[in-house]
Amino acid sequence: MRIVVTGAAGFIGSNIVRGLNARGISEIIAVDDLTEGDKFCNLADLQIADYVDAEDFYELFEQGAYGQVEAVFHEGACSDTMESNGKYMMDNNYSLSCELFHACQDQGTRLLYASSAATYGGSSQFRESPDCERPLNVYGYSKLLFDQRMRRELGPDFAQAGTQVAGFRYFNVYGPREQHKGRMASVAFHQYHQFLKDGRVKLFGAYGGYGPGGQMRDFVFVDDVVAVNLWFFDNPEKSGLFNLGSGRAQAFNDVALAVVQSMQRLSGQTGAADLAHAAQQGLIEYVDFPPALVGKYQCYTQADLSALRQAGCGHSFADVASGVSRYMEWLAASGSQQGA
């Protein structure tokens, strides 16, 4: 069985490769752009059959250069929500995805692709429905446009797909193998390094009607993201567009407290009892909300998992306290290889 993973050296892509390896699957073609050479670390401990540069892959795949491919996990994209070059974003996230979709349908290859909760943007509801889709940046729009293309070609539920097509609207994913993402890495990753350096973590202050650190997101641990992707891989008859989050909104304060308590536990200290104690002890610092994000920031997200559950996926998601704890342990064990 041959599998393709695009964005294979990236955060979610490398975790999917790891998940496939855990099942004994190593006939994997890893596709990425290693101009940023340090990303090789995400592949170094994994088993793949071949590596193909992203610049070469899409045309070769369309020509059938890789033989029969069972499925493509399409994680490759520009995921920088602050990227303002719309042409670059649309070429990477929309045009290439369209080419890949048609090639997969022509060759009978299943396509499991990454969409994003950024498609919801300024909405207060998070259902996989056009009336909830209000992207706030060109990244969110690039992801939405491909989702819309799939709806036009395959019908609202992708029921007209010749072979499986499943899109996943990722919410705030955090976990191992995101170190290369720089400023786009999760708040948990940055707070780990802040605590190591300064003995405290930082959060945005009041904004959008929320108090300091009170903005709420649906934080989802990357192992859960992989589990859902693999559930659909195991169920090739299931197509459609699905939210992939934990189904619960939690405040950034919850993440900060989980980081502080985990780091204190790992160092043998007595953990802060609660948020008030952590703030009182100076373990959490609130900073002014950055002007560059005003009007472009989602203050609240919570995945509606109704469609996922109706499809039959009953996966149980980690909450922030348990997921962040596992992540801090992994970062501590990884040491200097996962620097900020």
Q: Which residues are catalytic?
A: 139, 181
Q: Are 34 and 48 in contact (CB under 8 A)?
A: no
As a whole number of angstroms, the distance between CA 123 and CA 298 comes to: 9
Give the CA count within 13 Å in the CB-facing half-sphere of 165. 27
Phi/psi at 227 (5° precision): -60, -40
The distance of Cα 167 from the centroid of its chain, to the nearest Å, equals 12
Q: How far apart are CA 330 and CA 322, in angstroms?
A: 13
